[in-house]
Structure 1
Amino acid sequence: MATGRKAQSLNVWVSVAVMLGLLVAVNLISHKHFKRFDFTKARRHSLSEQSRKVARELKKDTSILVFTKDRGAADKGLLDQYRAESPRIRYEFVDPDRQPLKAKQYGVSSFGTTVVVVSGDTTEKAYRFDEKEITSALLRAAMPGTKKVVFTKGHGEKDPDAYDGSGVNVLKRALEEERYTVSSVSLATEKIPDDCDVLVIAGPKYDFLPQEIAVLRDYLNNGGRLLLLLDPGALPNLVAFCRDAAGIEVGANFVVDPASRLMDAGIPTIDDYEDHEITKDLKNVITVMSFVRSVEPASSPPSGVTVHGLMRTSSRSFLMPGSKPPASGRVRLEGKQTRAVTVACASEVDVTSTDTSAAVERKGRVVVFGDSDFAGDRLIAYGGGNGDLVLNSVGWLADRLVLVSVRSKEQDSQPLVLTGRQGRIVMLVGLAGIPLGIMTLGVGVLLRRRLRT
Structure 2
Amino acid sequence: MEVRDFRVNMSESNNMNNGLISGLSKNPIVMNFGAFLMAVMFALTCGIISWRLGRPAMAYIIWSGSLAVFSAGVGFVLGNRNREETSPENALRIGLIFLGGGIGFATAILGLFLPLMQYSDIFGGGLAQWRKNPNTVLLCAGLLFGGLALMFGSVMLAKNFEKSSVGLRRLLYGTNAFLTGMLLLTVLGVVNVLAYVPMGKLDFFNRTFDFTASGLYSISESTQNFLSNLKEPVKVYVLLPGNNLITVETETLLETFKTHTKNITWSSVSRDLDAQELAKLQEKYQIPDPLGLLVVYGSDQKPVYDFIKYPDLYSIPQQDPRNPNADSGSFQFLGEAQLIKTITFLSEGKSQTGVFFTQGNGELSIDDKNPGSIAGIGTLYDETAKGNFKLDKITLDRNTKKIPQEADVLVMARPRFDPPPQAIDALRNYLRGTDGKKGHLLLLLDVEVEQLAGKKQVIPMPNLKVLLREFQVDVADDQIYNPLNERKPSIMTIMASDKSNNPIAKAFLKGRSATLFLFDGIRTVKPLARVPNAPPNPISAEEILLTDPRIPVWAETDMGANPQEIIAELRKDEKKAQQKLQGGQLPVAVAVMEKGAADPLAQIPGHEGMAPTEDKPRMVVFGDASWASNEGINGRFGESSLSLFNTSISWLRDRADLGAKPKGQERKDYKFNVAEDAVTRLKFLPLAMMLLSVIGLGGAIWIVRRR
- TM-score range (shorter-chain normalised) is 0.7 to 0.9
The residue aligned with 2:33 is none
Larger RCO (alpha carbons 8 Å, 6+ apart): 1
- The Cα of 1:202 is off from its aligned counterpart by 1.5
Change in CA separation of 1:414 and 1:68 when aligned onto 2, cut-off 3 Å: closer
In 1, distance between residues paired with 2:669 and 2:507? 29
- The Cα of 1:295 is off from its aligned counterpart by 1.1
- Which deviates more from structure 2 when the two are superposed, residues 156-165 or residues 17-26? 17-26
Change in CA separation of 1:242 and 1:254 when aligned onto 2, cut-off 3 Å: farther
The one-letter code matched in structure 2 to 1:313 is T
Superposed CA deviations along residues 235-274 of structure 1, whole A, max 9, x for unmatched, are: 422452255212222121222113459x832122223534
Say whether residues 1:131 and 2:336 are aligned partners. yes
Superposed CA deviations along residues 339-375 of structure 1, whole A, max 9, x for unmatched, are: 33221111224589xxxxxxx9865622111122211
In 1, distance between residues paired with 2:425 and 2:278? 56
SS in 2 for 1:366: strand
Give the TM-score taking structure 2 as reference length: 0.53
Contact 2:357/2:410 (CA < 8 Å) preserved in 1?
yes
The residue aligned with 1:35 is 206
- The Cα of 1:407 is off from its aligned counterpart by 1.2
Aligned with residue 407 of structure 1, among 656, 661, 671: 661
Any residues of structure 2 matched to 1:304-319 within 5 Å, and which? 304=537, 305-314=539-548, 315-319=551-555
Say whether residues 1:63 and 2:235 are aligned partners. yes
The residue aligned with 2:304 is 122
Contact 1:252/1:323 (CA < 8 Å) preserved in 2?
no
Aligned with residue 163 of structure 1, among 369, 385, 390: 369
The residue aligned with 1:255 is 480
In 1, distance between residues paired with 2:482 and 2:417? 27
Contact 2:226/2:658 (CA < 8 Å) preserved in 1?
no
Aligned with residue 506 of structure 2, among 280, 293, 306: 280
Superposed CA deviations along residues 207-241 of structure 1, whole A, max 9, x for unmatched, are: 11223323333333334322111111314224522
In 2, distance between residues paired with 1:351 and 1:446? 82
The residue aligned with 2:530 is 300
Change in CA separation of 1:46 and 1:324 when aligned onto 2, cut-off 3 Å: farther
In 1, distance between residues paired with 2:260 and 2:427? 41
CA RMSD of aligned residues (A): 4.0
Contact 1:252/1:293 (CA < 8 Å) preserved in 2?
yes
In 1, distance between residues paired with 2:260 and 2:380? 28
Contact 2:417/2:461 (CA < 8 Å) preserved in 1?
no
In 2, distance between residues paired with 1:178 and 1:394? 11
In 1, distance between residues paired with 2:485 and 2:213? 24
The residue aligned with 1:140 is 345
Contact 1:311/1:344 (CA < 8 Å) preserved in 2?
yes
Contact 2:223/2:657 (CA < 8 Å) preserved in 1?
no
Change in CA separation of 1:58 and 1:399 when aligned onto 2, cut-off 3 Å: closer
Contact 2:296/2:304 (CA < 8 Å) preserved in 1?
yes
The one-letter code matched in structure 2 to 1:160 is I
SS in 2 for 1:387: helix
Say whether residues 1:91 and 2:302 are aligned partners. no
- The Cα of 1:292 is off from its aligned counterpart by 1.7
Contact 2:541/2:591 (CA < 8 Å) preserved in 1?
yes
Aligned with residue 440 of structure 2, among 222, 225, 239: 225
- The Cα of 1:413 is off from its aligned counterpart by 8.7
The residue aligned with 2:624 is 371
Higher helix share: 2
- Size of the aligned set, in residue pairs, is 431
Change in CA separation of 1:407 and 1:26 when aligned onto 2, cut-off 3 Å: same
For structure 2, the 5+ residue unaligned runs are 1-165, 199-204, 314-332, 449-458, 571-576, 598-612, 671-679
Any residues of structure 2 matched to 1:53-452 within 5 Å, and which? 53-66=225-238, 67-72=240-245, 75-96=250-271, 98-99=273-274, 105-106=281-282, 107=287, 109=289, 114-120=292-298, 121-126=303-308, 127-128=312-313, 129=333, 130-144=335-349, 145-164=351-370, 165=373, 166-187=375-396, 188-222=399-433, 223-233=438-448, 234-259=459-484, 264-274=488-498, 275=500, 276-283=502-509, 284-300=514-530, 303-304=536-537, 305-314=539-548, 315-321=551-557, 330-333=564-567, 334-335=569-570, 337-338=580-581, 339=583, 340-349=585-594, 363=616, 365-382=618-635, 383=637, 384-400=639-655, 402-409=656-663, 435-436=688-689, 438-445=691-698, 448=701
In 1, distance between residues paired with 2:344 and 2:685? 53
The one-letter code matched in structure 2 to 1:376 is S
In 1, distance between residues paired with 2:626 and 2:352? 27
Change in CA separation of 1:438 and 1:143 when aligned onto 2, cut-off 3 Å: farther
Change in CA separation of 1:409 and 1:349 when aligned onto 2, cut-off 3 Å: same
- The Cα of 1:162 is off from its aligned counterpart by 4.1
Give the TM-score taking structure 1 as reference length: 0.79
Superposed CA deviations along residues 14-48 of structure 1, whole A, max 9, x for unmatched, are: 66776776667556544332713316498933211
